Amino acid sequence: MALKIPKIGLNTMLKDGYKHMQGLDEAVYRNIAATRELSQITRTSLGPNGRNKMVINHLEKLFVTNDAATIIKELEVIHPAAKLLVMASQQQEAEMGDATNFVVVFAGELLQQAEYLLKMGLVPSEIIDGYDVAAKKAFEIIQTLQVHTLENPHSKSDLISLVKPVIASKQYGYEDLLSNLVATAALEIMPKIPSQFNVDSIRVVKILGGSIHDTAVVRGMVFGREAEGVVTKANAAKIAIFTCPIDVSLTETKGTVLIHNAKEMLDFSKGEEAKLEEAIKQIADVGVSVVVTGSGIGELALHFMNRYNIMVVKVLSKFDIRRLCKVIGATALTRLGAPTPEEVGFCDIVESVEIGSDRCTVFRQENETTKTATIVLRGGTTNTIDDLERAVDDGVNVVKAAVKDGRLVAGAGACEIEIARRLTEIGERTAGLNQYSIKKFAEAFEVIPRTLAENAGLDSTEVLSRLYASHQAKNASMGVDIEGENNDILDSAKAGIYDLLASKLMAIKLATHAASTILSVDQIIMSKPAGGPKAPQQTRGEELDD
């Protein structure tokens, strides 16, 4: 009997359950619609007047924030095209720590402009070619728009002018306070070679209560728990760090001890006590006045620590243990016993203090340059403190990027309008079909100043026309005045509103690449999700049938 060959077609070639979409209507336009929805979500959160989003994730944790990186991370986007934008913004967050919203909004606008060109009759490959040409021209233009440079990373005023606009976009109204704190913390740990600046050297500790004005910078490390014993302060402290439990040592195998009378019972426990006391006495004899443990500490061990006037601090995070070792120059020990002089760390002051209603332990360096600075954030609610932490994190990341490339461009949408104006002129002079894509690429840059104006409640059309007029008159640093003064535009460079050139360059590159990738997709082939039907949800009080 001959083998029956099924009819030719994609559905017969693949397993049952495959979905197949192709062509402009089914694949390209659908992808563009999905990315438009995502960019609209984050677009209203752009700039100092950006609105907050309330996101409740799968663990029912509440986030109230205007930080695009957090919003996108917690949304759990599953549409494949929108996911490409999410990945681009995550890469921007990893590389620069800022301008994640720019990536999503700009890529979404590029795709929206591409949709118009597709309906006009251009094919995706022609649009992608045009976008590639326009992106290269935009990179050349942005290199010429530098208005300021971070000349001295060791200058507090220079760091504040750099960090202030970044924090203002997250915490408008508190930018002076927070930028001063970030600059202070950055200077505390700034190495002699600024390009070796390490973000991990600035820690953030969040303590509920008080107001944002109670926020302070501590030279050293702060842990959100008090000392274990009765000793709560040590000056010029020698510190030993143990990752093993500080307690009576247990045998590796089970053993049986035959005890005949009460005297033998007492002698047995006394032997264990004597051995533990001897180990702690050896630690005290070396001159150690503070012991840090990464595991538990027994009641008996704590009793002997108090007797020998040793302060005990429990730090349960292995990452914090590593940081503390680096800060005080200690070596973490895996066995209980006297450390060698090389293994002992040193800190000027170790003390338990009360911040708000929380007891904390502070390791403070007073004399020498500290290797870690801690920003103690205060606020009324958990959401407030979390949002402050995101703003501080952005500020610190901008310092990291700026010490490597300190070139700054005018902010408040000035840089984008200038790129749009020059690209439009290039598009006018370009022959062939590329001119349409170049002009639309230029038009996409208008989304940033337009959004800043809309979020500030200004007439965006009027603001854009004024910006174009002033840029045509060679005022290349004119941007949107969100305060609504001076005809809604201002000189960004004079106002000290800057954007990092390297960050902007990376954002344009990632957004263009993501948009081109989405446009180049002409078919979507999806297999049936694995797994059987979902089990029926059982209501409370019901029992399963036997």
**CATH number, domain containing residue 437:** 1.10.560.10
Strands 332-333 and 233-242: parallel
Is residue 532 situated within a structural domain? no
On whether both 488 and 522 belong to a single domain, the answer is yes
On whether both 366 and 450 belong to a single domain, the answer is no
Cβ–Cβ < 8 Å for 526, 81: no
Is residue 501 situated within a structural domain? yes
pLDDT at 100: 85
Q: Rounded CA gap, 289 and 186, in Å?
A: 30
Q: Rounded CA gap, 269 and 35, in Å?
A: 70
Angle at CA 240, nearest 5°, toward 238 and 246?
140
412: helix, coil or strand? coil
pLDDT at 1: 46
pLDDT at 6: 56
Contacts of 543 (CB under 8 A, 6+ apart): none
Cα atoms in the Cβ-side hemisphere of radius 13 Å centred on 88: 31
Which regions in the chain score pLDDT beneath 70? Answer: 1-26, 248-255, 257, 267-269, 356, 367-369, 484-487, 526, 528-546
pLDDT at 433: 82
Is residue 69 situated within a structural domain? yes
Domain coverage including residue 286: 218-379
pLDDT at 492: 79
On whether both 237 and 364 belong to a single domain, the answer is yes
Is residue 44 situated within a structural domain? yes
On whether both 399 and 416 belong to a single domain, the answer is no
On whether both 454 and 336 belong to a single domain, the answer is no
On whether both 444 and 465 belong to a single domain, the answer is yes
The pLDDT tens digits of the residues spanning 43-71 come to 888 878 888 888 888 888 888 888 888 88
Q: Rounded CA gap, 55 and 60, in Å?
A: 9
**CATH number, domain containing residue 340:** 3.50.7.10
Query: Which residue is listed with tokens 């749009």?
Result: 420
Is residue 140 situated within a structural domain? yes
On whether both 371 and 397 belong to a single domain, the answer is no
Is residue 384 situated within a structural domain? no
On whether both 278 and 232 belong to a single domain, the answer is yes
Radius of gyration (C-alpha) of the chain in whole angstroms? 31
DSSP states of 290-344: EEEESS-B-HHHHHHHHHTT-EEEE---HHHHHHHHHHHT--EESS-SPPPGGG-
Is residue 538 situated within a structural domain? no
- How far CA 67 is from CA of 46, 51, 102, 260, in Å, comes to 9, 10, 11, 70
Domain count, the chain: 3
pLDDT at 532: 57
pLDDT at 29: 83
Is residue 546 situated within a structural domain? no
pLDDT at 255: 65
pLDDT at 542: 47
On whether both 92 and 133 belong to a single domain, the answer is yes
pLDDT at 543: 47
